[in-house]
Amino acid sequence: MRVGVLTGGGDCPGLNAVIRAVVRKGIEVHGWELTGFRNGWQGPLTGESKPLGLRDVEDILTRGGTILRSSRTNPYKVDGGVEKIKAVLAEQEIDALIAIGGEDTLGVAKRLTDDGIGVVGVPKTIDNDLGATDYTFGFDTAVSIATEAIDRLHTTAESHHRALVVEVMGRHAGWIALHSGLAGGASVILVPERHFSVDQVVEWVERRFENEYAPIIVVAEGALPEGGEESLVTGEKDAFGHVRLGGIGTWLADEIAARTGKESRAVVLGHVQRGGTPTAYDRVLATRFGLHAVDAVADGDFGVMVALKGTDIVRVKLSEATAELKTVPLERYEEAEVFFG
């Protein structure tokens, strides 16, 4: 049997751990031939691939990024895209695909399954916003990086008695902001799921200053003020229709400075959250996902995604996993508000 593997969408710590697990189990347990398609769904479209052997994955467990590289290619936006993929898979004698990605990559996987191609999905996103799984790998690393940054910013904020606004990733879900903000002892946490009052934020900030405390405000890139609109870096959209967000941190820092008369600075963590060595938790979770994805292929159970439920790895339908984003429940956010101000 010959199985293809690809990584799509934004890069994420732990991708290489999945690839390693798939290759090792596929070869050592089942005797399969593994093929790595490069640059996400672009690989199966163009035929750009390479064989994956044990030596190719020997030392990649601790590496961030992906040895297969990635892209945001959407084959359903390409004329004859599905036919091209079918032709490439037939030419390279690929019997099944393991697609590692988030909502967009797995949305394509679901549609390809419906179109007769055998695909098993593995959930990847630092945003932790993919449905039907408790956690995605990459999230723990991103939160750890953001928390360390907040820890470091506390000392410089206190030294200069200024407010610091930390912008983290999170387009429509505020999981990174919520977890890193709580772990880092932030004064204010702002998430996309709930529009915020600038007046309330300023009140909390001023209260902190009155108590001789330098406030840290953590804001997700997709968070919006009441009555506000998304702050856009560019009006351009990717192949999946997503607009690039950003700028809310700088905007909020300027508002705080103007309203309080106190010095306020913005720190945008950006892609720092995606890079570097995955945490031990993400390495283990990614490895378990890879091993169970191989089991699904071996069983001929296509159109599924491996998922974490409690401490168990289970299979769920790709249709369930991509039906809607997993956002921060209001009650979870309200739990954190006890620490604000």
Structure tokens at 199: 């007046």
Residue 56 assigned ligand-binding role: no
Asked if residue 127 belongs to a known ligand binding site, the reply is: yes
125 is in an annotated binding site: yes
Active site includes 104? no
Query: Is the distance from CB of 49 to CB of 42 less than 8 angstroms?
Result: no
How many angstroms separate the CA atoms of 226 and 147, rounded?
Answer: 27
Residue 126 assigned to a binding site: yes
Q: How far is CA 214 from the centre of its chain?
A: 30
Q: Is 147 annotated as a binding residue?
A: no
- What three-state secondary structure class fits 131? coil
SS3 6: strand
**95 annotated ligand binder:** no
Q: What is the 3-state secondary structure (H, E, C) of 100-117?
A: EECHHHHHHHHHHHHCCC
Q: Is 272 annotated as a binding residue?
A: yes
Residue 221 in marked binding region: yes
Is 170 annotated as contributing to ligand binding?
A: yes
Please tell me whether 63 is known to bind a ligand: no
Judge whether 10 is annotated as a binding position: yes
Distance CA 203, CA 256 (A): 10
DSSP code, position 196 = B
Candidate list 127, 129, 140, 282, residue with the active-site label:
127
If you ran DSSP here, which 8-state letter would residue 235 be given? E
Cβ density class 228-239: b for 16+ within 10 Å, e for less: eeebeeeeeeeb
| Whole-angstrom distance, CA of residue 247 vs CA of residue 234 | 10
The continuous run of DSSP H or E covering 260 comes out as helix 248-260
DSSP 8-state code for residue 29:
T
Residue positions forming the annotated binding site for substrate:
125-127, 162, 169-171, 221, 265, 271-274
Residue positions forming the annotated binding site for diphosphate: 10
Binding positions for Mg(2+) are 103
| Binding-site residues | 10, 103, 125-127, 162, 169-171, 221, 265, 271-274
Return the active site residues.
127
